[in-house]
Amino acid sequence: MSKHPALYLLIAPLLLLAACAAPRQPQPFENSLGMRFVQIPAGEFLMGSEASPEALAQVFPALPRERFLKLADEGPVHRVRISRDFWLGQHEVTVGQFRRFLARSGYRPESVADGTGGYGWRADYDPASSPRGDAFEGRRPEYSWANPGFPQGEDHPVTNITWHDAQALAAWLSQTEGRRYRLPTEAEWEYACRAGTRTHFSSGDDPQSLQGHANLFDADSARHWPKWAAMALPGSDGHAFTAPVGSFAPNAWGLHDMHGNVWEWVADWHGDDYYAQLAAQGTAVDPQGPAEGTVRVRRGGSWHTWAFYARSAYRNWNDPSTRYTLVGLRLLLEDEAEQKKER
């Protein structure tokens, strides 16, 4: 700067203008377990998808047509208002964070407490040896949050976590920090995943747009499951299994791995006709999911998921005691300013 004072004088007002025009983004908040949260502003969005089988076939030509006929629960598209700011985990909860939670709380994950274990990958495991033809071996006591069979570092997303485990983590953090943590609702999750987009993915409509944005079932994974090679995202994303969280580019709101890496439990029960009920209300304000149900929703796809099932609108679900090599979580932190308004 000192070498070119005249140039600096010319540029300085422009820099000041740019700084004023940029939206004020609060710094990420880091909690006692090292999880980082970014603030998500309140707002409205269109939730769900009504893409026709013909339109989906054009985008996902490798998939058989029947795959496009089982998506009725993604519609109708309906307007949702998220009425309060909130903070969402910038990343999925990691192995290291979960390990610290267990050490400090004494909590025993469901897979350990009930003695049945979780699922895991083994190179010589044959899916035909499982009654359900499952892609992974389990349940077996040697598999758990600490061991999904494939190597994981402390910064990889934790797996083999049940919905009840997620509840226990949120409850313990809320109690020890005096803040309100919970799983996001399904609406909050999709709002944050889309980050203002209406395309199949926050990176665009084309599955190729996910390159560099998501750890999915790619050529590296297909080497272990060659019968699904045609469904793999072409090329290598560098990770045959889970990737360290934040390895891929974030969406427009600063959130990493909303598509892929691990599926993420959300708070809601799943209901096939729930969106139709919401659409009948006009704008749904902070929908909480059906009052009752048998299965909890998970979102976003995983390292073992074809791009089609990692779409922003795609819904999947499991019994809340399910623990699996592909399923993890991210937490939501309620906004303290919003909480003060309540009081």
Query: Under rule CB under 5 A, which residues in 156-215 are in contact with Ca ion?
Result: 215
Residue 262 in contact with residue 95, Cβ under 8 Å? no
Residue among 80 and 193 whose Cβ is closer to Ca ion: 193
Q: Is the peptide bond before 108 cis (omega within 30 degrees of 0)?
A: no
Indicate whether 110 belongs to the interface with Ca ion (CB under 5 A).
no
Give least dist CB 220 to Ca ion, A: 5
Smallest distance from Ca ion to CB 214, Å: 8
H helix and E strand count, the chain? 9, 14
The residue within the footprint of Ca ion, chosen from 165, 188, 218, 268 (CB under 5 A), is 218
Nearer to Ca ion, 112 or 150 (CB): 150
CB 175 within 8 A of CB 32: no
Tally Cβ neighbours within 10 Å of residue 65.
10
Q: How many residues are recorded in the chain?
A: 343
Closest CB to Ca ion among 94 and 215?
215
With CB under 5 A as the contact rule, the residue among 169, 300, 317, 333 that binds Ca ion is 300
CB of 217 to Ca ion, least distance (A): 6
DSSP label of 157: B
Cβ 35 to Ca ion shortest distance, Å: 14
If residue 285 lies in a helix (H) or strand (E), which one and from where to where? strand 284-285
- Spatial separation of the C-alpha atoms in residues 238 and 257, rounded to whole Å: 14
Q: Which stretch binds Ca ion (CB under 5 A): 10-18, 147-155, 178-186, 292-300?
A: 292-300
| Residue 175 near residue 101 (C-beta atoms within 8 A) | no
Q: In which residue are the tokens 């969280």 written?
A: 245
- Work out the widest C-alpha separation in the chain, in whole angstroms: 77
Q: Of residues 137, 190, 237, 268, which one binds Ca ion by CB under 5 A?
A: 237
* Rounded least distance, CB 218 to Ca ion, Å: 4
The residue (of 144 and 261) whose beta carbon lies closer to Ca ion is: 261
Minimum CB distance to Ca ion, residue 277 (Å): 27
Binding residues for Ca ion, rule: CB under 5 A, are: 215, 218, 237, 239, 257, 261, 300
